[in-house]
Amino acid sequence: MYTEGGNEKWLEQKEKLKKKYADLINDDLKFEEIIKDEFMEKLQTKLTKTKEDLDKIPGVI
């Protein structure tokens, strides 16, 4: 689901990646967030749902 908890999980994953690969910086890892936001916006438009509605659908990021 696309929730704050999911965002926290991504933040934890980013930190792990930065520790494992010292060359990575925050800007390198923003791509995923942008894609997720664009994906959610497309779903909202296509399904005529709000972000809150999408949060309630199982399997949605």
What pLDDT, in 10s, does the model give residues 4-57? 556 778 788 888 988 988 888 888 777 666 788 888 889 899 889 898 888 888
CA-to-CA distance for 15 and 19, rounded, in angstroms? 6
pTM (predicted TM-score) = 0.47
pLDDT score, position 45: 92
Sequence-distant (6+) residues with CB within 8 A of 26 are 14, 18
Nearest to 29 by CA among 19, 16, 40, 14: 14
What is the chain's Cα-based Rg?
A: 14
Q: Give residue 17's Cα distance to chain centre.
A: 16
Do residues 60 and 2 make contact, with C-beta atoms less than 8 angstroms apart?
A: yes
